[in-house]
C-alpha cells in the first residue's frame, strides 16, 4: 500500500478497508461494484474512476466521468433510472452524484459531508437516498431536488454503512462499534445495538418479505464476527466467529444464504437458517476482498478488491 487515507482518528483498521492505492501495477483497488438494471453490464468504481463492463465477460464498454476523487459505492434507484455514485475527498468533503442512467449524464450532486461518503441506500419508493459519511453523519436527501430531508448525528465516529429497513426506518453502523436504528422522518434514534466489540464494517438486509418489511439484518465487524439480528426488537439471534476480519457481505435472493468476503481473500458461504454455519468457501484470487456482487441467477459472483476483480462460481 502506498497511501493510507485519513478518516477522523481512525488509522490502523481503516488501512485494511478500501483506502489504499495498490493492486495490479499502478491500479488502485476496486472499492465499488453494481449490476446495471438490465443485468447485462457491471459498474466498477475506484480511485481511477468508474468503468462500465459487460457481464459476465467483463469486456470494457466505457468510462463514466465522475467528479469524485474516491468512489466508494454505486447504487441504482429501485426503478433503475437513476444511479447514485458515492465518495469524495478524504478528510475534506463527501458527496453523492445522481446520474440519469439512460442519458449517461450527471443530474446533480447531493449531500454536504465533511469527509468521504462510504455507503448510500435508496428508500423503497426511490424518492429519497441516505448517505453514510466519514464525518460521523448520516443524511437523507430528496431525489427530486437533492434537498436535505434529515440528519442523523448520533454516531461518535465515521459511519461505514446505512440501509433502509422500510420506508421510514434506517439502520446505520460504523467505527463506534454500534448499529443504530433511526426514524427517517425526524432523525430520532429508535434503538442502539451494541453487541459488537470492534468496528462494524457493513450491514446486509434480508430480502423483503411479502409485507414489504425487512425483519432481519446481518452485520460484520473487526471483532471477526458475523451477527444475525432482529433489529426492531433489538435481539441478536446468533453469531459466528471467524479467523479473519470480514470485509463485505451479500445476501442470497431467497434469504437462506449469505456470502462474506474476508481479509484473507476467501468468500465464505453461511447457512442462515442452520446456525450461521459455513457450508462452502471459494478462493477469490484477488487478495483482500472489498466488494462482492451476486448474479441474480445465484450461480456466480463478482469479487473485487486489492488486486482487481474476478468472476467466481458460487459454491453449492
pLDDT at 208: 72
Q: Binning pLDDT at 50, 70 and 90, where does residue 301 land?
A: very high
Pairing outcome for strands 105-113 and 117-122: unpaired
Mean pLDDT taken over the chain: 90
pLDDT digits (tens, 9 = 90+) for 7-34: 333 433 343 333 333 333 458 999 999 9
Q: Binning pLDDT at 50, 70 and 90, where does residue 49 land?
A: very high
Q: Is the pLDDT assigned to residue 237 strictly greater than 60?
A: yes
Q: Is the pLDDT assigned to residue 91 strictly greater than 50?
A: yes
Cα dihedral 226, 153, 70, 52 sign: positive
Q: For the chain, give every domain's residue range.
A: 13-246
> Taking residues 291-300, what's their average pLDDT?
93
Q: Binning pLDDT at 50, 70 and 90, where does residue 207 land?
A: confident
pLDDT digits (tens, 9 = 90+) for 246-295: 999 999 988 899 999 999 999 999 999 889 999 999 999 999 999 999 99
pLDDT at 210: 54
- pTM beyond cutoff 0.95: no
Q: Binning pLDDT at 50, 70 and 90, where does residue 214 land?
A: confident
Cα dihedral 107, 108, 111, 114 sign: positive
Task: Judge contact between 199 and 13, C-beta under 8 A.
Answer: yes
Q: Give CATH superfamily name and number for 13-246.
A: YVTN repeat-like/Quinoprotein amine dehydrogenase (2.130.10.10)
Phi then psi for residue 237, to 5 deg, are -75, -45
> Taking residues 151-157, what's their average pLDDT?
93
> Taking residues 40-63, what's their average pLDDT?
97
Q: Is the pLDDT assigned to residue 126 strictly greater than 90?
A: yes
Task: Judge contact between 290 and 17, C-beta under 8 A.
Answer: yes
Q: Is the pLDDT assigned to residue 2 strictly greater than 80?
A: no
Q: Is the pLDDT assigned to residue 302 strictly greater than 90?
A: yes
pLDDT digits (tens, 9 = 90+) for 93-122: 999 999 999 999 999 999 889 999 999 999
> Three-class SS of residue 70?
strand
Q: Is the pLDDT assigned to residue 4 strictly greater than 60?
A: no
Q: Which residues are CB-neighbours of 197 under 8 A, at least 6 positions away? A: 177, 221, 223
Q: Is the pLDDT assigned to residue 75 strictly greater than 90?
A: yes
Q: Binning pLDDT at 50, 70 and 90, where does residue 212 land?
A: low
pLDDT at 1: 31
Q: Is the pLDDT assigned to residue 245 strictly greater than 90?
A: yes
The residue written with cell numbers 493510507 in the block is 4
User: HSE on the CB side for 107, CA within 13 Å?
Assistant: 18
> Taking residues 133-155, what's their average pLDDT?
94
Amino acid at each position: 500500500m502506498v497511501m493510507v487515507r485519513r478518516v477522523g482518528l481512525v488509522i490502523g483498521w481503516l488501512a485494511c478497508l478500501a483506502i489504499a492505492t495498490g493492486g495490479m501495477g499502478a491500479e488502485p483497488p476496486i472499492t465499488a461494484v453494481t449490476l446495471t438494471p438490465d443485468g447485462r453490464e457491471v459498474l466498477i468504481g475506484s480511485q481511477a474512476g468508474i468503468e462500465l463492463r459487460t457481464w459476465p465477460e467483463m469486456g470494457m464498454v466505457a468510462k463514466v466521468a465522475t467528479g469524485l476523487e474516491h468512489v466508494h459505492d454505486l447504487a441504482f434507484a429501485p426503478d433503475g433510472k437513476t444511479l447514485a455514485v458515492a465518495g469524495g475527498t478524504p478528510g475534506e468533503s463527501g458527496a453523492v452524484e445522481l446520474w440519469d442512467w439512460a442519458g449517461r449524464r450527471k443530474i446533480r450532486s447531493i449531500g454536504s459531508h465533511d469527509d468521504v461518503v462510504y455507503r448510500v441506500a435508496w428508500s423503497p419508493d426511490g424518492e429519497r437516498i441516505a448517505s453514510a459519511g466519514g464525518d460521523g453523519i448520516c443524511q437523507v436527501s430528496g431525489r427530486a431536488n437533492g434537498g436535505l430531508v434529515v440528519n442523523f448525528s448520533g454516531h461518535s465516529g465515521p459511519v461505514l454503512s446505512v440501509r433502509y429497513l422500510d420506508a421510514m426506518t434506517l439502520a446505520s453502523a460504523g467505527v463506534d462499534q454500534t448499529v443504530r436504528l433511526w426514524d427517517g422522518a425526524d432523525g430520532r434514534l429508535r434503538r442502539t445495538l451494541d453487541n459488537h466489540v470492534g468496528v462494524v464494517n457493513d450491514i446486509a438486509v434480508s430480502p423483503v418479505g411479502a409485507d414489504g418489511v425487512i425483519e432481519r439484518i446481518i452485520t460484520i465487524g473487526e471483532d471477526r464476527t458475523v451477527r444475525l439480528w432482529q433489529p426492531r426488537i433489538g435481539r441478536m439471534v446468533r453469531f459466528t466467529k471467524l479467523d479473519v476480519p470480514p470485509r463485505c457481505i451479500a445476501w442470497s435472493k431467497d434469504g437462506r444464504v449469505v456470502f462474506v468476503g474476508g481479509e484473507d481473500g476467501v468468500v465464505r458461504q453461511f447457512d442462515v437458517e442452520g446456525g450461521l454455519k459455513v457450508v462452502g468457501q471459494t478462493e477469490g484470487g484477488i487478495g483482500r476482498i472489498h466488494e462482492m456482487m451476486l448474479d441474480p441467477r445465484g450461480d456466480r459472483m463478482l469479487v473485487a478488491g486489492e488486486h482487481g476483480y474476478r468472476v467466481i462460481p458460487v459454491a453449492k
